Amino acid sequence: GLLSRLQTSAPTIRTLPSSKPFSQNIPSCLWKLGRLNHVAIAVPDLEKAQSLYKDVLGAQVSETVALPEHGVYTVFVELGNTKLELLHPLGEKSPIASFLQKNKTGGMHHICIEVDDIKAAMTELKKKKIRILSEEPKIGAHGKPVIFLHPKDCHGVLVELEQA
């Protein structure tokens, strides 16, 4: 009767084969990405940019620091969960000067992500054909080793990796 018809017409519930958790499908690395440290913005007028973030938006803004080895002046804007780094050219050979020649009003220059082992990251990224813009890490604005990855290998974004 009715019971046998219900039993034969009931939908079959399929279960997916059990698989490893997603994280186990990622190859293990000798290094790990950490948090977003900062987003860097090239600015043609550093004082005006500092004033925007401090006086208009009410952010905590650092003093200007010159980094001659990088050809920039830097100012950090604290945002709680990350920072903005305002960059202004220092010297004629500054990479920020050439950026501002192409982008007169300024704009996003790079993102910085922390890593737990910058040397291991360099070794592995080179094996994966990611170009690094220096042979060795340089000391960055936070006093820690940094490297930059070629934007053409990172979907058009200049990526800075900083030792955590």
Domain definitions of the chain by residue range: 34-163
Q: Which amino acid is at 155?
A: H
Cite the beta strand spans of 14-71 per DSSP E.
33-42, 60-61, 65-67
Residues 56-101 pLDDT 10s: 999 999 999 999 989 999 999 999 999 999 999 998 889 999 999 9
CB proximity list for 39: less than 8 A, separation 6 or greater: 82, 83, 84, 85, 108, 110, 111, 112
Helix (H, G, I), strand (E, B) or coil at 151: helix
Residues 84-143 pLDDT 10s: 999 999 988 899 999 999 999 999 999 999 999 999 999 999 999 999 999 999 999 999
Q: Greatest CA span in the chain, whole angstroms?
A: 91
Structure tokens at 44: 């043609």
Helix (H, G, I), strand (E, B) or coil at 84: strand
pLDDT at 4 over 60: no
Alpha helices in the chain (DSSP H): 2-9, 46-51, 95-102, 118-127
Domain 34-163: top CATH class: alpha beta
pLDDT at 79: 95
139, β-bridge pairs: 145
Burial of 159 (0-12, 13-18, 19+ CB in 10 A): middle
Q: Which amino acid is at 150?
A: H
> Regarding beta strands 138-139 and 83-89, do their DSSP bridges make them parallel or antiparallel, or are they unpaired?
unpaired
162, β-bridge pairs: 114, 146
pTM for the structure as a whole: 0.81
> Regarding beta strands 72-78 and 83-89, do their DSSP bridges make them parallel or antiparallel, or are they unpaired?
antiparallel
